[in-house]
Structure 1
């Protein structure tokens, strides 16, 4: 945790787990919640939202990023993703599309905390999950 930000990792994890309870997942019954911290010290949460036309659903991370952008945030400082069950050996990491969406607003060393409904399981940097990524700087 940065000395410049009073939001703890446990607060972020709790927010992601809480966001899971608001997921709309009637088809998969697989709830996912995400909570991200922006450059202004604000937490933005999202949950997965499924749709009967399956490709039209959105992931929790995408939902949280949209909330951040709508509130004026432009940088992800940390993100927690919570999903699945309390099984310790199964991680609910961001899908490939969400890894790229996170990359749009985060640095390679941004911490991504993975949690189950009962708490933290593991943490990665964005570079761990999306090595050699394509980002805004590639377009210059």
Structure 2
């Protein structure tokens, strides 16, 4: 199942990291900032980051899930941190669980997965 949403909400800043949360609207209809935090809720959104700005990815319950980048506008700094290196577009993707992993060996588990994707515009 792939659920894609679009649009921007009211701007906010994550108190722990100081990064702008995806949702701070610009005239172009995407998020701008030197530091941007994208989360599970930003699936399908378009987010803008300044040149040399930082994009941090926080996927609920999926801290160990690899996030991949396509395009040349972002470079990976670490597993969930990316930096804008050239003007243009990049796409961040991950495959995340739809339900928690089973805690007990041999117990029934949910293996349903979803694709998470955010388009990053560097400028």
Q: Return the TM-score normalized by structure 1.
A: 0.28
Q: Return the TM-score normalized by structure 2.
A: 0.31
Larger Rg: 2
Q: Whose helix fraction is larger, Structure 1's or Structure 2's?
A: 1
